[in-house]
Amino acid sequence: MQQLAKEPEVIESSGHAPSRGVRPLNERARRIERRVTLITVLIPYVGLAGGILLFWNRGVNLLDLAVFAVMYAVTVLGIGMGFHRLIAHRSYQAVPFLKTTLIVMGSMAAQGPVIFWTAIHRRHHSYSDREGDPHSPHLYGSGVGAVLRGLWHSHMGWLFNHELTDWGTYVRDLLQDRKIFKLNRLYFVWIGLGLVLPAAAEGAITRSWLGVGRGFLWGGLIRVLIVHHSTWSINSICHVFGSRPYQLKDRSTNNAILAIPTFGESWHNNHHAFPSSAVHGLEWWQVDITGSTIRLLEKVGLVSAVKIAKKKQQAEFQEKPA
Ligand SMILES: [Zn+2]
Ligand SMILES: [Zn+2]
């Protein structure tokens, strides 16, 4: 376990105009991005429609739910424990096999390749709720309409209309890592794996093609859809609704209701206060499945250099806000 160090990758904005690391996308790049995003965001809805039809005719069985739950846990951990706490914030270290596995697991969530995801997330920390934040809900002014527009933008609207995040500024460390670069390039392979695995598992267990289809739907497409909204709720709900024990310049919140589905990522005000802490649930009652998993893996030697915000640091922070 380590004392928290200052976050190395967060770059302070020099003023309200974000120039560092943020560039407008040219029209061609914007079109391509929109198409890829539309496909990865909309296809899971086709799966949902298929799932509803299937449910109507044959219902959902326990195996469907089990396949869904396993794949949900795998990909939510891949995003939270892998992309977010390990790669974006370097809040702990993992043995190479585990690191690779977590990146593959996170890629199966279809939220963009690991380098893209990390660049966007580090920019979010650099400009939290200010101009330059790729997905702040607070940049549309005040009033109900502005709040609703902000919630839409922060939840998923930004995916279709965002600036270019300069990789040289935000993810130079990852660009120098050949293994991560290779895993990043194989992004669509990992998405495919995330669809094939549950299909193969349910097909093998039931020894039927219907099982293959059900596994593909529940563990594949519908799971991608639910994990998308689970992760995106951190960007939208956890910057609007909830408590703010740490008075920060941004509007991040702790949201207890989302703690279970997000595996602890919704202690987001804690996270913005201590971005380098591998554990986000800082109070004993703040359930943080991802943080607990990291601690458990530390005990068996798969994880090391785990940074956790100390009680003293938390108290100091609350006495003297940022
Ligand atoms: Zn945030
Ligand atoms: Zn973060």
Classify the C-alpha dihedral 291-222-214-58 as positive or negative. Answer: positive
| Residue 282 alpha carbon to ligand 1 centre in Å | 17
| Residue 219 alpha carbon to ligand 2 centre in Å | 27
| Residue 124 alpha carbon to ligand 2 centre in Å | 8
The CA distances from residue 147 to 143, 247, 258, 272, in Å, are 6, 21, 20, 21
Q: Which ligand is nearest to the CA of 137?
A: 1
The pLDDT assigned to 5 comes to 42
Q: Which ligand is nearest to the CA of 89?
A: 2
**Cα end-to-end span (Å), the chain:** 25
Q: Which ligand is nearest to the CA of 86?
A: 2
Q: Which ligand is nearest to the CA of 274?
A: 2
Measured CA to CA, the distance from residue 176 to residue 143 in angstroms comes to 45
The pLDDT assigned to 126 comes to 94
The pLDDT assigned to 24 comes to 67
| Residue 88 alpha carbon to ligand 2 centre in Å | 7
The pLDDT assigned to 56 comes to 73
> What is the Cα 183 distance to its own chain's centre?
17
The token pair at 213 is 């289809």
The token pair at 87 is 């790669």
| Residue 251 alpha carbon to ligand 1 centre in Å | 8
| Residue 299 alpha carbon to ligand 2 centre in Å | 24
| Residue 11 alpha carbon to ligand 1 centre in Å | 15
> What is the Cα 106 distance to its own chain's centre?
8
The pLDDT assigned to 291 comes to 98
**What average pLDDT does the segment 43-52 reach?**
83
- Confidence at 82, pLDDT banded by 50, 70, 90: very high
Contact in structure between 103 and 133 (CB atoms under 8 Å): no
- Burial of residue 301 (number of CB atoms within 10 Å: 0-12, 13-18, 19+): exposed
pTM, 2 dp? 0.89
**What average pLDDT does the segment 5-29 reach?**
53
| Residue 232 alpha carbon to ligand 2 centre in Å | 13
The pLDDT assigned to 91 comes to 98
Measured CA to CA, the distance from residue 322 to residue 313 in angstroms comes to 12
| Residue 97 alpha carbon to ligand 2 centre in Å | 23
Q: Which ligand is nearest to the CA of 91?
A: 2
- Confidence at 203, pLDDT banded by 50, 70, 90: very high
**What average pLDDT does the segment 169-186 reach?**
95
| Residue 59 alpha carbon to ligand 2 centre in Å | 39
Contact in structure between 294 and 92 (CB atoms under 8 Å): yes
Q: Which ligand is nearest to the CA of 278?
A: 2
pLDDT tens digits along 253-280: 999 999 999 999 999 999 999 999 999 9
Half-sphere CA count of 187, side-chain side, radius 13 A: 14
Residue 94 dihedral angles phi and psi, to the nearest 5°: -125, 150
